[in-house]
Structure 1
Amino acid sequence: MASGRPNIWPTMTAIVAAAFLFIALPDSARSWAPSFLRSPTFHLGLDLAGGTQLDFRISEEEMQQQVDSIQKEIDGLTARGVAGDSIILLQNQLRSIETQRTSIVEAIRTVLERRINSLGVSEATITPSYIGNEKHLLVECPGIIETQKCIDTVGKTIQLEFKEEQTEPTPEYEKEIRARVQSVRTRLKEPGESLAKVGEDIGADLGVSYTTEARYFRDQLPKGLEGIWNRGPRDGILPFDATVKANATDSAGQPTTTDVPGVFLVEVLRARTATGRLVNEAPKAFDILQADDSTLSHTSHIEKKLDAGVPAPIVQAIKSMQPGALKPVTLEKGAAILFLRKFVPGQTQMRASHILVAYKGASSAGEEVTRTKEEALAVALDLRRQLASGTKFETLARSHSDGPSGKEGGSLGTFGLGTMVPAFEQAALQLKTGEVSAPVETQFGYHLIRMDAPPAPTGDIASYELLTIRGADAGSRAVEIIGRLQRGAVEAREDQIVLRTLFFSLLPTGWKDTQLDGTHFRSASVTMDPTTNIPIVQIAFDDEGAKLFEQLTKNNIGKRLAIFVGGQLISAPTVQQAIVGGTAVITGSQTFEEANALATDLNTGAIPAPIYLTGQRTVEATLGAEALAMSLKAGLVGMVVLMLFMLVVYRLLGVIANIALLFYVLIFIALLKLPLFLFSHTYIVLTLAGVAGMILSIGMAIDANVLIFERIKEEVRKGKILKTASETGFNKAWSSIRDGNISTLITCAVLFVIGTSIVRGFAITLATGIFISMFTAIIVTRWMIRKVADMPIAEKMGLFVSGAKARQNP
Structure 2
Amino acid sequence: MAMKRSRTWPILTVIIAVLVIVIALPQNKRTFVPSFLQSAKLHYGLDLVGGTQLDFRISEREMREQVESLKQQIEDLERQDAAPDRIAGLRAQMLAIEDQQRGIVEAIRTVLERRINALGVSEAVITPSYIGNEKHLLVECPGVVDTQECINTVGKTIKLEFKEEYTEASEEYDAEVRESAAKAIGRIQAGETLAVVGEDLSDELGMGFENEREYFYDELHTGLEKLWKMDTTTGVQKIEGSLSVPERNSEGQISFREVPGIFLAEVIKPREKKARVIISPPLALEHLADTEEGATYQMNENVTLAEDNSIQNTLLEMNIGDIEPVSVNDSESQILFLESRTEGNEVMEASHILIAFEGALSADESVTRTAGEALALAKELKIRIDGGESFADLAKEYSDGPSSVEGGSLGEFGRGTMVPDFEAVSFKLAEGEVSDPTETQFGYHLILSDRAPDKKPDLVTYDALTITGERSFERADTLAEAVEGHKIQREEDAITLRMLFFSLLPTGWKDTTLDGKHFRSATVTLDPTTNLPVVQITFDAEGGELFYELTKKNVGKRIAIFVGGDLVSAPTVQTEIPGGIAVITGSQNFEEAKNLAVDLNTGAIPAPIYLAGQHTVEATLGAQALKTSMKAALIGIAILMLFMILIYRLMGLLADLALCVYAIIFLAFLKVPLFLFSGQFIVLTLAGMAGIILSIGMAVDANILIFERVKEELRKGKLFQTAVDTGFQKAWPSIRDGNVSTFITCVVLFSVGTSIVRGFAATLGMGVLISMFSAIIVTRWLFGRIANSPLSHNMKLFGVKVAKEEVVENV
Q: Which has the larger radius of gyration?
A: 2
Compute the TM-score of the two structures, normalised by the length of structure 2. Answer: 0.50
